[in-house]
Structure 1
Amino acid sequence: MSETHTYHARTRAPDPGAPLIFVFHGTGGDEHQFFDLVRQIHPGAGVVSPRGDVSEHGAARFFRRTGEGIYDMEDLALRTERMAEFVAAQAAAHPGAPVYGFGYSNGANILASVVMAHPGLFARIGLLHPLIPWDPAPAELSGRRVLITSGRRDPICPWPQTERLVQWFGAQGAEVATALHEGGHEIRQNELAALAALLKR
């Protein structure tokens, strides 16, 4: 079995006709962080919530970094491919189920990286407080629905970089929505409402 398929994950199969939703936690979170949130938003949805397999001083992450906002790009590329293979294998087990995904902070970053490298995997993408400090290559994202959320005073994910990410997704043909607040890195109610609209509509 490929190492790609060894993520520890909490899962639930989708009801007939319901989507399969992949959930990616933030730094220090785990497979339980957003599992119940999905169940509340879309009770019939399938859920795949993997635990990051990188430890940063005991905090689970999806890829390595050398400092705040400074990514180990070689490690990110490797783990992006592993996650893409994991997503594809899980999706193949539920043929016909639409594939959605959302992530928060580090989870949003690995999801964004997977989408950029493999734009056909996800139909709907929720990126809560992402930080993409590199210039992505073009990708074909026509027909994809993308939600990007942010705090305008987020010290970890500065708004100007988030705004550039919004523009990048729009330039790739995605249908982009945003949910902003005046705070920092915390998730607020307006973001959860926008996420629910993305996953349910």
Structure 2
Amino acid sequence: MADHGYVHKLRASKPGKAILFVLHGTGGDENQFFGFGAELLPEATIVSPRGDVSEHGAARFFRRTGEGVYDMADLARATDKMASFVKALAAEHDASEIIGLGYSNGANILANVLIEDGVFDRAVLMHPLIPFRPKDHAALAGRKVLITAGERDPICPAPLTQALVVYFKAQNAEVDLEWHSGGHDIRQNEIAAIERFLKA
């Protein structure tokens, strides 16, 4: 099996079904959300890549120079690489729909691929942090995005979450937002919102 640039785990479905990419957070790997993705969409092809950057031994999808401070050149590199990976796998499996689900660092690379390339039809961004104003992109019109977040998340402050919602709405994407009262943890209401979003 070709790796298309990432070590990854894959469960193939029939050609013509949806393909779901699940992207782990810092320190996770290809196993973190693989089973969750398979439960969410039992008939889809599930792909879970491992981040190709190591931060003190923790896998990530792009480099940063500090908490919330991105290496923008490496983010651009990673975005191009991930977009190519997604397109190659989607074509290989003749996917009817391209869906992404990412948490934390995985949500950040997913969001930036969506912003730069528009390749995902639907995207679940769990606790994303985009600490800059993205460029406008007409291809985002009609894309469906669910953002889940903690009101007291110290890693992804609520005002930046809200700014990302405003950005996607300005691009005419369809955006849902699900808050919980905690921090960077994943809670049951988030999972319920993701299930509703993906099964709609």
- The TM tier, using the shorter chain, reads over 0.9
The answer to whether the 8 A contact 1:54-1:63 is kept is yes
Determine helix, strand or coil for the equivalent of 1:6: coil
The answer to whether 1:65 aligns with 2:44 is no
- RMSD, matched Cα: 1.4
* SS of residue matched to 2:99: strand
In the alignment, which residue of structure 1 is the partner of 2:34? 35
Give the alignment of 1:1-12 within 5 angstroms.
5-12=4-11
Counterpart of 1:164 in structure 2 is: 163
Cα pair 1:14 1:97 within 8 Å, conserved: no
Q: Please list every run of 5 or more consecutive structure 1 residues that lacks an aligned counterpart in the other structure.
A: none
Q: Which residue of 2 aligns with 1:97?
A: 96
Counterpart mapping for 1:16-55 below 5 A: 17-55=16-54
* Secondary structure of residue in 2 paired with 1:103: strand
Q: How many angstroms apart in 1 are the aligned matches of 2:128 and 2:95? A: 29
The count of residues paired between Structure 1 and Structure 2 equals 198
- 1:15 CA drift (Å): 3.5
Cα deviation, 1:2-58, whole Å, max 9, x if unaligned, reads: 9x8220000111245531000110000000000101111221111110000000000
The residue number in structure 2 matching 1:134 is 132
Q: Could you tell me how far apart the structure 1 residues matched to 2:107 and 2:95 are?
A: 25
Moved beyond 2 Å, runs of 4+: 14-18
Letter of the 2:126 counterpart: L
2:114 is aligned to: 115
Pairing 1:124–2:103 present: no
- Please give the alpha-carbon distance, in whole angstroms, between the structure 2 residues aligned to 1:96 and 1:90: 8
Paired with 1:33 and 1:19, the residues of 2 have a C-alpha distance of 20
- CA distance in structure 2 between the aligned counterparts of 1:36 and 1:192, rounded to whole angstroms: 13
Matched residue type, 1:197? R
CA distance, structure 2, for counterparts of residue 118 and residue 14 of structure 1: 25
% same residue: 58
Per-residue deviation at 1:194?
1.1
SS of aligned partner of 1:190? helix
Change (3 A) 1:19 1:96: closer
